Structure 1
């Protein structure tokens, strides 16, 4: 038997599953059986299907079991395709064995070629050596270069990803290699939706809507938490239950230490778009609180929730998010932003952000610089043991440090 670690240098044809090829590279790679129901394979779902409303993709987009399966198969296809150093052969047939039903080409062929291959899926064009007669090479199916168009719409999450590692940005937003649902994303979605619903109750009570008199309680906060719980991405039931319990303690701490019924939420989950020449920058502000009104101008505080660890002071000082959001709030909503806060829920810490005019200008300059770098296709890697260890693309990135 050849050890897995020796496969890459073993002078022979290696027949591997896609899973088995992770972390390896070869001069030439053949991906075969690229037809529907083989790659992607059929979704062999459980006899007791999981309710679709328990499976959510990022930003509250629901994903069915079938869609989740296709995403995972697409990720595997990308892993296989990126094992090739020099040549990649994509193989499919109209018929396999004694089958009488004609196969359709895999949807992944359409995606990687970025063109309609149905017209090319004609085996009369493919010439091979038969009985000593040499055929001619046919290269008309696969273009020499596939140009992937860059998107023109950007979000804070995209800018933050680029700041972390430009190569990760390329995987996530240019090549669009799917990521598995992860616990951190699901937990963050749960908490953000919970606090939005909770502050909606507070806002409604302050507006004096008939039938709602009292302000929301801790019990109501926890009920909303259970209602908004997203199950996708956890390792197992034990992991999910442990994280859910941690979240309950976190929200109790938030209610007792940070929440005040004097808060006056004006806007919740406020979405916006800023136009920057041919590009746009979009964002969503978790909460905008009214501080006071002066000569008809609302003076406000903008709030952003964080479910991760408290950032270092140096990282908070150079963070782009709230300075950019402050620009939008004043330009588009007509409010005067007098303060901005990051609330780190896990540790119950509230930190003021620098939104001075100087900081806003620097943040906008950096945003424009990042967008220009993306347009110039500057996707260099910035490998780091910690960052790479947490990255979903570490198995396909040649620069990953793990």
Structure 2
């Protein structure tokens, strides 16, 4: 059910498409994924391949695979795009039935229990009182975090003579007079994953291939799969050792360990026995008790225990990125399509952001070029030589021909960046400075390219790789972004900003433009944030965004 909801929220993203196809609802195998990948042309996205029915023309796809893709194509036609719902409970039950998920679960073992589990999940989701699917999935993610890592949530420990029951993660940084650590003989949870990733080897898979229907499937795997699995196991054991250390060092006076006699491999008891064998002096600190002592019946004569209180502050706080706000300011309808409906950029724009690198008309991605140039500038400010900074930034490109194109495209930009030194702007104190600040009750997330300080005064600089002759127009366009940076910096640093500037790198020193301060602009930014929050909180549809757009143009 969660795979279905994640796909419905972002139906154009390959990760969620593959996750849904891999689910029992479609049952596509890893071999099926490899076949689809071979059929995909470079310029065709997976979503387009399915939604536009291009797969129907591929003879290399067998009928079961075509049937699964046809079914997903029908899902696109029936369920995409998702629109905010007045009754999320009714919508989810309808999705559960109409998608065929309920019928599929009826064919499984323990079918009634499986269906009841999904229905319980739907009831829980309906309690969130939101018609926004994006917000609903955020709530699910937060629930999962709290369930798996509840120890990392902030709690207020009740004082007094009482027992606190908590996970090892939750106990970090705390100490208690007596600590009980049970079930030491339990081994670490095994990893049964069939897909693994290693930064050196990259992707490795293990799967079962049916060669003869009368025999068991043959297990096959990538050459490096077992090596990666062994390495992951070693890392898990090391993590278990670190967690054991945290657990035993929470005790001030006494540590009580309980276990059965037979220890699983790599369990905490196994680690303890090995440590005692290697270091005989440990035995002098351990008093072994093979039987549980008998005590008189305990009677409660104190105050009623008050459970720890979960600190839920900011748990469900709304957030916007600076890019979202800029899109909303300039085109609320595009914001609705991109961030509310979740339509990918290449479906919204006929042309991608591309840059010519010279007379040979090689084309590179403008977005990727910007990322590489920003990284190179950051490294240069941190003391790298210019060539070293460029080489390090270009390391994200694997293809040598592609890397050569980007190197050519960034050559002039980096030489122009060095011209900033001639302007004597001051000392760089931050590069690519990330921030998350609260403005009008909303978390604003962004990153400032460059912060310099001179004589105690701070100057914010945003680097732009845009290709345009009308720099005045671009300066007006990006001014709201600089004001958002100013508001964030002043709130975080508790220091006033003295100057805001844009550096259009293609124009060299002539592309350095400062923005004059206007107090009303910050008020306008606050009003924009409040308007965005209000529209999202009320699950506004496209018509509300159109009305806002019309009002903003008056």
TM-score band, normalised by the shorter chain? 0.5 to 0.7
Displacement of 1:98 after TM fit?
8.9
Q: Could you give the per-residue CA deviations for residues 176-211 of structure 1, whole angstroms, max 9, x where no partner exists?
A: 23446961221111111111222222xxxxxxxxxx
CA distance in 1, matches of 2:51, 2:548: 21
Matches within 5 A, 1:177-196: 177-179=343-345, 183-196=365-378
Displacement of 1:315 after TM fit?
5.1
**Counterpart among 326, 345, 353 of residue 486 in structure 2:** 326
The structure-2 alpha-carbon separation of the partners of 1:287 and 1:97, relative to structure 1 and needing over 3 Å to count, comes to: closer
2:132: which partner in 1? 148
CA contact (8 A) 1:269 1:287 kept: yes
2:26: which partner in 1? 35
**Counterpart among 511, 521, 526 of residue 364 in structure 1:** 526
CA contact (8 A) 1:166 1:381 kept: no
The structure-2 alpha-carbon separation of the partners of 1:147 and 1:366, relative to structure 1 and needing over 3 Å to count, comes to: closer
Displacement of 1:259 after TM fit?
3.3
TM-score of the superposed pair, with normalisation by structure 1: 0.53
CA distance in 1, matches of 2:26, 2:460: 51
SS in 1 for 2:421: coil
1:350 maps onto 2:512 in alignment: yes
1:305 maps onto 2:305 in alignment: no
CA distance in 1, matches of 2:48, 2:534: 28
**Counterpart among 308, 329, 342 of residue 163 in structure 1:** 329
Which protein, 1 or 2, shows the higher relative CO under an 8 Å CA cutoff with sep ≥ 6? 1
1:285 maps onto 2:448 in alignment: yes
The structure-2 alpha-carbon separation of the partners of 1:154 and 1:226, relative to structure 1 and needing over 3 Å to count, comes to: same
SS in 2 for 1:161: helix
Displacement of 1:379 after TM fit?
3.7
CA contact (8 A) 1:153 1:280 kept: yes
SS in 2 for 1:335: coil
Displacement of 1:292 after TM fit?
1.5
2:391: which partner in 1? 223
The structure-2 alpha-carbon separation of the partners of 1:374 and 1:289, relative to structure 1 and needing over 3 Å to count, comes to: same
Q: Give the total of aligned pairs.
A: 268
2:46: which partner in 1? 73
CA distance in 2, matches of 1:194, 1:166: 33
CA contact (8 A) 1:287 1:304 kept: yes
1:121: which partner in 2? 103
Q: Structure 1: which 5+ runs fail to align? A: 1-33, 48-65, 81-95, 126-145, 202-215, 294-298, 384-402
Q: Could you give the per-residue CA deviations for residues 328-381 of structure 1, whole angstroms, max 9, x where no partner exists?
A: 211211222100111111222111023343332333333333443455343439
SS in 1 for 2:437: strand
2:433: which partner in 1? 270
The structure-2 alpha-carbon separation of the partners of 1:278 and 1:124, relative to structure 1 and needing over 3 Å to count, comes to: same
SS in 2 for 1:320: helix
CA distance in 2, matches of 1:323, 1:185: 23
CA distance in 1, matches of 2:134, 2:64: 44
Q: CA RMSD in A?
A: 4.6
Q: Structure 2: which 5+ runs fail to align? A: 1-24, 54-61, 83-90, 108-129, 136-317, 347-351, 354-364, 550-554
The structure-2 alpha-carbon separation of the partners of 1:274 and 1:77, relative to structure 1 and needing over 3 Å to count, comes to: farther
